[in-house]
Amino acid sequence: MPAHRSGTPRTSRRPRLAAAGTLLTSLALLLALPGAATAAPAGKDVPSRGTARMGQGVIEHDGQGGLPRDSRVVQTEGVDVSSHQGNVAWGTLWNSGVKWAYVKATEGTYYKNTSFAQQYNGSYNIGMIRGAYHFATPNTTSGAAQANYFVDNGGGWSRDGKTLPGVLDIEWNPYGAQCYGLSQAGMVNWIRDFTTTYRARTGRDAVIYTATSWWKDCTGNNAGFGATNPLWVARYNTTVGELPAGWPVQTIWQYTSTGPVVGDHNRFNGAIDRVRALANG
C-alpha cells in the first residue's frame, strides 16, 4: 500500500513566500517614487473636479507669512481669477491700481470656466491687459491634449497689445497625490509636451506658474524651461524667496490669496510697459 502523507508538502511553501516577498519589495519601491501614489491622503477632503484654482495648495504646503516689503523696483499689480469669484468687479479693481489679470479658462480636458466670458472680456473692457490660464492634471490626459483643449477654449493669443500668453498652472494636485502619479522625468516630459504644443499652436511660449517646493519635489528641480518660459512663482511671504532652477528672476510673483476685492494678488516684475511687452511678444 502506498504510504499516507498528511498535510501540504513543505517544499511548496517556499516559492509562495518568496513570491510574496518579491511583491512587497516591488510595491515599496513603487510607492517610494515621487508622486507614485495616486490616491488622496487619508482624511483629506477631495474637491469636485473642475474646482481647482491657482495657488490652492500654497498655504497647506508652504505656509503663509507677511505681505511683501516696499521695493525700489517698479512692479505692476495684477490678479488671477476663476469660477470661484463669479462676476468680478473689474472697475473696483482697476481703480485700486490693478492693471492686468489672468483668468482660468480650462482644467484637464474636461472643464471650462463657467464665468470665463465675464471675467476675460470684463477685464479687457475696463482697460486691463489680460490672459488665460490652464490648470494642469497630468494624470488624466497628455500635455499635448491639454494644450490643445486650452487653446481651443480661451487660451489662444493675439498680438493686440492686450492679450498675454497663456499660462500652464502646474502645482499640487488637489484631487490626490501631489505629483499626479508621475515620476520626476515623467513630469518634465509632460510639461514639455504641453509647452511645445502650445508654442506650435500660438507662436508663443507659455508662462509657467508653479511653487519652488512643488517644482523641486515633482520635477527634480529641472532647469530646462528657464530659457524659454517666463516664470510665475507662488510664495505668500515678505520676499519671493528661492526660485526654481533655471530661472534667475521671476516675471510674476503671486504673493497673497487674501487681497482686496479678489483674493489672489500678484506683482509683475516691471512697469506697465513691460506687461505690454510680454503681451506683444
Question: For helices 184-202 and 143-152, what crossing angle results, to 10°?
Answer: 30
3-state secondary structure of 77: strand
- Give the Cα separation of 80 and 106 in Å (integer): 14
Q: Find out whether 232 and 207 touch, Cβ atoms under 8 Å.
A: yes
Check 45, 62, 160, 169 and give the catalytic one: 169
Unique residue bearing C-alpha cell 470656466: 113
3-state secondary structure of 150: helix
Show Cβ contacts of residue 209 under 8 Å, excluding neighbours closer than 6 positions: 54, 133, 167, 168, 169, 170, 171, 232, 233, 234, 252, 254
Unique residue bearing C-alpha cell 516559492: 15
Known catalytic membership, residue 60: no
**DSSP code, position 11:** G
Q: Find out whether 218 and 178 touch, Cβ atoms under 8 Å.
A: yes
Check 62, 107, 171, 264 and give the catalytic one: 171
Helix (H) or strand (E) holding 187: helix 184-202
Check 80, 107, 205, 264 and give the catalytic one: 80
- Give the Cα separation of 172 and 180 in Å (integer): 8
- Give the Cα separation of 173 and 35 in Å (integer): 10
Known catalytic membership, residue 242: no
Known catalytic membership, residue 152: no
Query: Which residues belong to the active site?
Result: 80, 169, 171
